[in-house]
Structure 1
């Protein structure tokens, strides 16, 4: 027995058990973050306050600058009463599509929900869900964040991975200027650069016009046209407004030329 080779970590792990994202043979972190940013509604699972039964409901979702999921919930809803009693919850992000629904990627984020009165949370949610402005200020509604404890990604057939909170969310250290300037940049792009927004969306396979920028962060742009969404990553992360401007100009030029933008040397 002493001379037998010890099994590897992969051999010790059960065949159906997902790999950590850092060991997955595909870009699990990139796919998970894409789902976080591009899905606008999903299933919220809470714990029934009366008897502990799992309770799932449909909610609309946005994200904070670092990717933290945001929700606008009514205290008259069962899921809100459940969260007030026990903040543990999970959100399912799924894009869906044609064919077998299980062939499409989906992400479950588990964590703890908390109410938030932060102006940024309200601003980012309503930018993603403008129709919610009709009822967002009703006294029975409130904004919630979901602080992730883990992510469980199924990227399609034979593509599964688990993610830590640090892998799900962006490290915002040093990016304070970008987030402080976000709203001004969003308003400027929507007012003066609709052509560039259409180029950005087309560069990730989402053609057409009518695209508006709903938010940006150190890794990319969040666009929306009607009910369609597009997540457009930068060639490399940005940490200040000067880098953001240069990156957006380069991305538009590359899209016009039909090329992929390149990171700066």
Structure 2
């Protein structure tokens, strides 16, 4: 059984990654490529892939794949970097689901709007089957899909409340968003906006920049999101020397 800390760290790596290594295969030959994932509300990695790419052709023929998400190393030894490898099955996202999930992917990767409507691109999703989390040198544990996945009821509740939360925060609390981005996350000044919310945290964007706020614990309703954002804004203001 995976530890609570290991699960939390693995989910944070998946939620926060701006890039990952995708492993596919063709004719028994492994192939690795750089991809830019974004997590769906249920943690499934989303990939915006071109049909012209070799890895996309591989997935169409053999959906079994793996993704490696890597954090920052503590020092000169790359083996100290936290990382998680997820294995699973890739699938094209059905047309009915694609618009909302594509918007979510673009919120994480706003620069990709330049090619987001190219005809050869489509949204893919990796259904996670298992994971191996390495918290640093000699710290490894296997995690089952059921252990890694967030609570479905919480996912549904936050997804239903997300649009209202985002609209309200950006309309009435832009100063709080700026305090979180600039003070707490050290992202620098800018017209920061709340882009997405999920059970584990939220994404803030400014132009082509995106930063991630990880909540201290999983949330399950709009009230818990509000409390997490209020706490983060107060800490951000405190670090900026502003009144809280």
How many angstroms apart in 2 are the aligned matches of 1:233 and 1:249?
A: 11
Query: Structure 1 CA distance, aligned partners of 2:34 and 2:59?
Result: 15
Give TM-score scaled by structure 2 length. Answer: 0.84
Distance across 2 between alignment mates of 1:89 and 1:110: 6
Structure 1 residues 99 and 204, CA, compared in 2 at 3 Å: closer, same or farther? farther
Are 2:48 and 1:72 aligned? yes
- Matching residue of 2:58: 82
Summarize deviations over 1:23-52 as a string: whole Å, max 9, x none: xxx71011101101111111100011xx22
- The answer to whether the 8 A contact 1:34-1:231 is kept is no
Q: In the TM superposition, what are the counterparts of 1:105-184 in structure 2 within 5 Å?
A: 105-116=82-93, 117=95, 118=97, 119-184=99-164
Shift of 1:133: 1.8
Deviation sequence 1:155-187 (CA, Å, 0-9, x none): 111211111112222112155342123134224
**Equivalent pairs, count:** 233
Unmatched tracts of structure 2, length 5 or more: 240-244
- Whether the aligned pair in 2 keeps the contact of 1:152 and 1:161 (CA below 8 Å) is yes
Q: Relative to total residues, which structure has the larger helix share, 1 or 2?
A: 2
Q: Which ranges in structure 1 are unaligned for 5 or more consecutive residues?
A: 1-19, 259-265
More displaced stretch, 236-245 vs 85-94: 236-245
- Kept in 1, the 8 Å contact 2:20–2:70? The answer is yes
Counting only pairs closer than 5 Å after superposition, residues 27-46 of structure 1 correspond to structure 2 as 27-46=5-24
| Other-structure match for 1:10 | none
SS, match of residue 66 in structure 2? strand
Is 1:238 paired with 2:219? Answer: yes
CA contact (8 A) 1:186 1:214 kept: yes
Give the direction of change, closer, same or farther, for the CA distance of 1:167–1:175 in structure 2 (3 Å limit): same
Contact 2:193 2:204 in 1 (8 A): yes
Matches of residues 90-109 of structure 1 in structure 2 within 5 Å?
A: 90-97=66-73, 99-109=76-86
- Compared with structure 1, are the counterparts of its residues 58 and 251 closer, same or farther at alpha carbon in structure 2 (3 Å cutoff)? closer
Deviations for 1:99-133, whole angstroms, at most 9, x for unmatched residues?
Answer: 22221111111000000131221111011111222
3-state SS of 1:30 partner: helix
